[in-house]
A and B are shown apart, each in its own frame.
Chain A
Amino acid sequence: MNWFDLFLHIFARREQAERVVPATGITARLTVFASGVMAFLAVFALALTLATGQVSQRWASELAHTATVRISAPAGQSAIQGRAALNILETTPGVVSARILDNQELRDLLDPWLGPDLPLEDLAIPQIIEIVADEDFDARGLVLRLKAEAPGAVLDDHERWRAPLIDAASGIRWIGVLSLVLIGAVTMAMVTLAATAALAANRQIIAVLRLIGAKDAFIVRAFVRRFTLRALTGAISGTAFGLTALLLLPSVEGIAGFPSGLGFGALGWVLAALIPVFTAAVAFFATRMTAMRTVRELR
């Protein structure tokens, strides 16, 4: 019998096995409550994991194909060196496009830090050339050419600050994954403790059942079904609360270039819907393992 068949077998026969075991109030409430809390936390851990994963990917893909050239030259030289730099870029392999940002674009870039209505003409703002590149882009070769032909031009391929940001996002994502694993482990430990308590409290009944000819599977089924359903109930509630809380979070999209909020895409919703299923599966295996061990202590 495979695990799926076993699962169906256990949940198909409600009446007989389950009513043999009396409902124990405190372990029932504890299991439902703890499963709910764990599912609630799992929703946020999942959201964090997915959001940081998206951020990391977005930064990696967007920034890997862009670079900027800053022209820092005296007022009279700036336009000449800008044109020289553009000429060099037009003949540089891997450069898809290159253009000088106009004053409005510069204002937009500086707006979050220096405020609106910036008198750009009165400030020594360097010219910025935006480059869109492909995989053949050779940043090192371009630096050497710019040095020789437009000494006021400095290439920034974002590598210096891109890597630590991506590393940080990746680190947060792995912390999210670790949190999910730990939540699963704590759920398993909690269900095991509750099931152990329930089994100990009902040891006399288990002994009677064995004496009148009950197979281990019958006894185990009673406990497994009960704890799995309790964990499932708690997890559905916890997941629902978690998703509601997530939807009520204020959106941060578009604020100061903030990359993303804690929202779910299609994959996120599917994974969130699987949290109660996963919790039930964890409870199923934890209770089954505990119940089998306890039942086998009796002849």
Chain B
Amino acid sequence: MITLSDITYGYGGNDLFKGVDLELTPGSFHFLTGPSGAGKTTLMRLCYLDLVPTFGAVSVFGRDAATLDRDGIALTRRRIGVVHQDCKFVDHLSIRDNVALPLEVAGEPPAPENLSELLSWVGLSERADARPSELSGGERQRAALARALIMSPDVILADEPTGNVDWEMSQRLLTLLAELNRLGKAVLIATHDLNLIRTAKSMVSARVLRIRDGSLQLAGADL
């Protein structure tokens, strides 16, 4: 679904990573770890085509990303659900409208019952009409997850999705992602939370990748 081949990405004359390979196949589940500033978010942005690598090739759903025009990039992003670390909401719209926004930009009218069900699942039924600024950090992150899922994407990328939620909610989120993964969705989660990774390993067959010294390594039993 998404393949990064021999990727080098740098700015200001320094390479953040060099020769990185990553393949997200249908049904795969990956965790991405590493110290702050290692490039976890950058690697994710390369996956959803928000950044262009300095060197190497990105392939999405069988197409070389370099050959995609702007509309092609937009259409590709509709198949990738992203939970951003800072959520990225449209502040003047309600949470309900923010969650439904991917459907609206795609020209698909949101089905109210599906929307309500999704909001209910992430525990935001009561807060559906609130503005993003009126929500707590955890609520915002749950809303961001709902928005990432509403298009039923083939790939789910989540950047620290449990950073602001309590343990119970992070378990629920993880359970949902595991269920989606069993349906064939590829999942990539960037996280610092080693407990989350340990818990996930009991639910799904997950690979844990670590960015270290500009390269991507398979993490071992030291987790």
| Interface set of A (CB-CB < 8 Å, partner B) | 16, 19-20, 22, 205, 207-216, 218, 296, 299
Q: Which residues of A contact B223 (CB under 8 A)?
A: none
Contact yes or no, A211 B73, CB < 8 A:
no
Q: How far is the CA of A212 from the CA of B150 in the complex (A)?
A: 11
Q: Which residues of B contact A207 (CB under 8 A)?
A: 88
Contact yes or no, A299 B74, CB < 8 A:
no
Q: How far is the CA of A216 from the CA of B77 in the complex (A)?
A: 13
In the complex, residue of chain A having the shortest beta-carbon distance to the beta carbon of B72: A215
Q: Which residues of A contact B71 (CB under 8 A)?
A: 215-216
Question: Smallest CB–CB gap between B149 and chain A, Å?
Answer: 12
Q: Which residues of A contact B111 (CB under 8 A)?
A: none
Contact yes or no, A16 B74, CB < 8 A:
no
The reply to whether the CB of B48 lies closer than 8 angstroms to some CB of chain A is yes
The reply to whether the CB of B161 lies closer than 8 angstroms to some CB of chain A is no
Contact yes or no, A212 B50, CB < 8 A:
no
A16-B104, A296-B70, A299-B50 as given contacts; A213 in contact with B77, CB under 8 Å:
yes
Q: How far is the CA of A296 from the CA of B73 in the complex (A)?
A: 12
Question: Smallest CB–CB gap between A162 and chain B, Å?
Answer: 62
The reply to whether the CB of B194 lies closer than 8 angstroms to some CB of chain A is no
Q: What 0/1 pattern do residues 65 to 84 of B give for CB contact below 8 A with A?
A: 00000110111111000101
B: contact size bracket? 20 to 34
A212-B147, A215-B70 as given contacts; A20 in contact with B78, CB under 8 Å:
no
Contact yes or no, B106 A22, CB < 8 A:
no
Question: Smallest CB–CB gap between A20 and chain B, Å?
Answer: 6
Contact yes or no, B90 A20, CB < 8 A:
yes
Known: A19-B93, A299-B52. 17 other contacts (CB 8 A): A20-B93, A210-B77, A211-B88, A212-B82, A213-B74, A213-B76, A213-B77, A213-B102, A213-B106, A215-B70, A215-B75, A215-B105, A216-B70, A218-B105, A296-B70, A299-B49, A299-B73
Q: Which residues of A contact B52 (CB under 8 A)?
A: 299
Q: Which residues of B contact A20 (CB under 8 A)?
A: 90, 93, 101, 104-105
Q: Which residues of A contact B75 (CB under 8 A)?
A: 213, 215
Contact yes or no, A22 B102, CB < 8 A:
no
Identify which of A205, A212, A216, A296 contacts B102 (C-beta below 8 A): A212
Identify which of A208, A213, A216, A296 contacts B78 (C-beta below 8 A): A213
Q: Which residues of A contact B182 (CB under 8 A)?
A: none
Contact yes or no, A210 B101, CB < 8 A:
no
Question: Smallest CB–CB gap between B122 and chain A, Å?
Answer: 17
Contact yes or no, A212 B101, CB < 8 A:
yes
Contact yes or no, B50 A211, CB < 8 A:
yes
In the complex, residue of chain A having the shortest beta-carbon distance to the beta carbon of B80: A213
Q: What 0/1 pattern do residues 33 to 61 of B give for CB contact below 8 A with A?
A: 00000000000000011111000000000
